[in-house]
Amino acid sequence: MAPRKTLTHLRPDGTAHMVDVSTKDASARVAVADGYVRMGKQAFAQMSSGQAKKGDVLGAARLAGIMGAKRTWELIPLCHPIPITAVEVDLIPDPTLPGVRISASVKTVGQTGVEMEALTAVTCASLCVYDMLKAVDRGMVIGDVCVRLKDGGRSGRYQRASTTKLPGRRHGG
């Protein structure tokens, strides 16, 4: 499908508006987003061992990601409130960063996609990791937050090319 030449959230006069999706058919939709938080070895050790002073970093970040996905429409202007049917947030400690890789999958049956919800889940989970470990490492880096997969709706399937080489990212998927 050819890229759009106009931005759907702008009227011809340049003012913003919420796109009317009422004429679109409801369909099953899914989006997967990824990112990471890179940190120093001390913060990584505390996160991985469950010894962080603020508690279970990965558990709290998973909940923050899920909550973020559910509230995306309140955070991002012009996003539709949609009936989310599933949210999965995975946090995988990776000593090669060192840090944590975060992936979020969001599903719905509706008239608009869930890419923003997946991106918000990854971002909120990342921010929670930072918040819980900032006393140990204020130099943490949140990076490479992107949509890996989107499927459903009129525009069909999008999958990020596995050959894309991004710093700090596993390749092949």
CA–CA dist 69, 116 (Å, integer):
8
Does the annotation count 131 as an active-site position?
A: yes
Q: Tell me which of 90, 94, 131, 144 is the catalytic residue.
A: 131
Rounded distance between C-alpha atoms, residue 136 and residue 138, angstroms: 7
Q: Can you tell me the distance from the alpha carbon of 98 to that of 36, in angstroms, rounded to the nearest whole number?
A: 10
Cα-Cα-Cα-Cα dihedral sign, residues 86, 69, 4, 6: positive
- The backbone torsions φ and ψ at residue 119, rounded to the nearest 5 degrees and listed phi first, read -65, -40
Q: Can you tell me the distance from the alpha carbon of 27 to that of 156, in angstroms, rounded to the nearest whole number?
A: 11
Kindly list the catalytic residues. Answer: 131
